Homo-oligomer: A and B are copies of this chain.
Amino acid sequence: MASSSTGEAGPPAVVLLSGGLDSTTTLAVAANRGFDVHALTVAYGQSHGQELTAARAVARSQGVRRHLELELDLRAIGGSALTDDIPVPKDRSEQEIGQGIPVTYVPARNTILLSLALAWAETLGALDLFLGVSSVDYSGYPDCRPGFVRAFEALAQEATRQGTQGARFRVHAPLMELTKAATIELGLSLGVDYSLTWTCYSPAPSGRSCGRCDACRLRLQGFAALGRRDPLEYEQGGGR
């Protein structure tokens, strides 16, 4: 659960880590800014376990101070293709992906995740939370926008011991204005090993990424735009 960080410890920060490309890059940004990184992974009933395996591998490889896993089964609440029996869409164009709120939206997910991060932050005495959201690629998710992040900061001030005593909480969303390609470029510049991450919403029976769901397509397009090869293996016939 815990592994030592290298170098001098800066102020503590809680980083939400799903094991995906975005949260992994965000974790590297937090470490690069000198924070003493505490990674929080929530197993919320995603339909596959690869994300959790990836989160553990990323936390280990980046030498976080502590990696905490919480279980919270959101399948009882449902309402999303990620936690329910709704099919994950495949082979959608970039334009289609950008329109409306996709069925893979999990109701109030980032609100729940940030609440849990806030609870841990209070216990640690941390004031900095990191969330790997971007308003560029998935404009349809309401809880991936700057207004959401600011509203959560305002809530944290009112909700906590430290906040009501005058300390300022900050929710860092370093990828907010970045395209997938820019995110990957940033991560590579910080030494992120993307072979450890997991992105696919709908893995093939072989266990490989499908290459056809929205998440795979955005990831593959991001690597392609940089002229880089994605180190993940994709199902034959998937990818591009």
Residues of A within 8 A of B (CB): 68-74, 76-79, 101, 105-112, 115-116, 118-120, 122-123, 142-143, 145, 147-148, 150-152, 154-161, 163-164
Contact = CB atoms under 8 A, between A and B. Distances in A.
A134 B116 CA distance: 23
B160 A142 contact: yes
Contacts of A120: 77, 107
A84 B164 CA distance: 23
A150 B142 CA distance: 19
A80 to B, nearest CB: 9
Contacts of A107: 118-120, 122-123, 160-161
Given A70-B72, A78-B123, A142 B163 contact: yes
A13 B109 CA distance: 19
A119 B108 contact: yes
29 contacts: A68-B77, A69-B76, A70-B72, A71-B71, A71-B73, A72-B72, A74-B119, A77-B123, A78-B123, A101-B161, A105-B161, A107-B122, A107-B160, A109-B119, A111-B155, A111-B159, A112-B112, A112-B119, A142-B159, A143-B158, A143-B160, A148-B155, A148-B158, A148-B159, A151-B154, A151-B155, A151-B159, A154-B154, A155-B155
A120 B80 CA distance: 11
Nearest to A74: B119
A215 to B, nearest CB: 19
B70 A70 contact: no
A21 B72 CA distance: 26
Nearest to A71: B73
Contacts of A152: 155, 159
A114 to B, nearest CB: 8
Nearest to A122: B107
A62 to B, nearest CB: 21
Contacts of A71: 71-73
Contacts of A69: 76
A219 B239 CA distance: 62
Contacts of A160: 107-108, 142-143
Contacts of A109: 119
Contacts of A111: 115, 118-119, 155-156, 159
B161 A142 contact: yes
